[in-house]
Structure 1
Amino acid sequence: MVRRKTHIILLQLITARRLIFAALLCVLIQALPARSGWDFDKLVKMAQQRYGANASKLMSETQQLLASSKTLAEPDKLKRVNEFFNRRFQFQDDMTIWQQADYWASPLEMVGKGAGDCEDFAIIKYFALKELGVAAEKLRMSYVKAKIGGASSTVTQAHMVLTYYPTPDAEPLILDNLITDIRPASRRADLVPVFSFNSEGIFAGSGNQPSGSIDRLSRWKDVLLRMQADGIEF
């Protein structure tokens, strides 16, 4: 009987110690600073090493933009990110920058060149807004047919923009590298949606449910691998 009581007491002590340890571990984890998706210490150094002082400065400016925008309301985050990248970076085609017909640059590569094409603008804005706490399901990189010369034109060109959905069924807002003003889709009759994608999957047309896996997008997978090596988690 004494042995049984002793055994019960020991079990109670062990259980109590485990509970105390678990509670302390939770406190310690909560006390740790949240890990940034962008490892700016690494990114600034890599920008300097690969591309030089101007790229390092531009990466530091990007860091300052994100740090100063974290507490803003979501519409203000969209506005600041869209204006910063549209005004601070030049638009150039892939053949000029990379001597390739179609190349999707990582944020570090775009900062290194100080320029990019429409896909590069959409990608860097997507990950900047994710870093600011905007949920991935609200953001999509959208391929569209842009009507050259206006909504009534029959001449189109492939283009990519970043779209933001405040709610799943809401009309999206368009973040375009060619127009800094953020407008709802109904005011961009010059853009005809083809498909869109984000970290969750591929969406047909303007639909709000994924219709395919991002595994089908080889260039997207390639740029994600390069981003991980550069120091951006997603």
Structure 2
Amino acid sequence: MLLLKQPFFQGNPISFSQRRLCIMVIACFLLTNAFVTRAFVDINFGKFWQAVARHGGKVDAGRQAGLEGMFNEAQNLPESKQLLLVNAYFRDNVTYKTDDIVWKQSDYWASPAEFLAKELGDCEDYAIAKYIFLLKLGVAEEKLRLIYVKAKVGGRRSTVTQAHMVLGYYETPTSQPMILDSLISEVLPARQRTDLIPVFSFNSMGIWSPGQKKSSGSPSARLSRWRNVLDKISSEGITVTS
């Protein structure tokens, strides 16, 4: 905690306006850091690839270099470029298939290691893996949300919908999110995705209904599949700390 002590003002005399400015700066620092919570992700690539192999995936030098090379390339880029690189990685290395084909279940949320082992997965698997990888690159958790939507089948004029999940990136708390989707290759702002109707969104910090600023609860308490994913990744070389 940053404490304002008397010696801070001792030494060369400062004016009342300078003192007031110092107090305002420190107050802003304290308020900003009181409300910003970040999840930090670390990946032990040795353990991660062991987990991929354990789940039946192919592990060779080319795959390892491809993933680690993507992280190295993206590490110091602007977040807008990081979104594109992570989105492109999964576009190029995984094929969309539904859970009934991949897992013989109606709904299964795979960990990133399971996802890359199968090289197949559905919308939740894409969204979760992109979320974890962007956290690894240092994107603040409050900028990322997994968003449950109703996707209009056949285009924006369709009245037929199906459950779907995408990843949203919010540059600022009031920004329209950029949408990373498993069904299209582009990363587009939400205003251009009129085929998607939001139902709720979540990350490790909370869960939100559309338009709400306050979280309505703990996602790990309310979403058993999310809790299961977090349990799985902890044994697969991925550490998430808040």
- Counterpart of 1:89 in structure 2 is 94
User: 2: CA distance between counterparts of 1:232 and 1:224?
Assistant: 9
Question: Deviations along 1:5-38, whole A, 9 cap, x unmatched?
Answer: xxxxxxxxxxxxxxxxxxxxxxxxxxxxxx9611
2:68 corresponds, among 30, 46, 63, to 63
User: 2: CA distance between counterparts of 1:55 and 1:115?
Assistant: 18
- Counterpart of 1:229 in structure 2 is 235
2:130 corresponds to 1:154? no
* Aligned pairs, number: 200
- State the structure with more CA Rg: 1
Q: Which has the higher contact order (CA 8 A, sep 6+)?
A: 2
Cα deviation for residue 162 of structure 1 reads 0.2
Deviant stretches of 4+, over 4 Å: 54-57
User: 2: CA distance between counterparts of 1:105 and 1:91?
Assistant: 13
2:224 partner amino acid? S
1:182 corresponds, among 179, 187, 193, to 187
- Counterpart of 1:220 in structure 2 is 226
1:60–1:223 Cα change, 3 Å: farther
What SS class does the counterpart of residue 53 from structure 1 fall into? coil
* Superposition pairs of residues 18-33 of structure 1, within 5 angstroms: none
Root-mean-square deviation (CA, aligned residues, Å) is 1.7
2:61 corresponds to 1:53? no
Identity within the alignment, %? 46
2:137 partner amino acid? L
1:78 corresponds, among 67, 74, 83, to 83
1:36–1:165 Cα change, 3 Å: closer
Higher helix share: 1
2:212 corresponds to 1:210? no
- Counterpart of 1:196 in structure 2 is 201
1:142–1:55 Cα change, 3 Å: farther
User: 2: CA distance between counterparts of 1:210 and 1:144?
Assistant: 18
Name the stretch that deviates more: 206-215 or 190-199. Answer: 206-215
Cα deviation for residue 211 of structure 1 reads 1.8
- Counterpart of 1:15 in structure 2 is none
1:109–1:213 Cα change, 3 Å: same
1:202 partner amino acid? I
Question: Deviations along 1:70-126, whole A, 9 cap, x unmatched?
Answer: 001100000111111122210001111111110000000001000110000000000
What TM-score results when the alignment is normalised by the length of structure 1?
0.81
Is the 1:47–1:55 contact (alpha carbons within 8 Å) kept by the matching residues of 2? no
Cα deviation for residue 45 of structure 1 reads 2.6
Q: Which runs of 5+ in 1 are unaligned?
A: 1-34
Cα deviation for residue 52 of structure 1 reads 4.4
User: 1: CA distance between counterparts of 2:161 and 2:41?
Assistant: 39
1:142–1:158 Cα change, 3 Å: same
What SS class does the counterpart of residue 198 from structure 2 fall into? strand
1:60–1:218 Cα change, 3 Å: farther
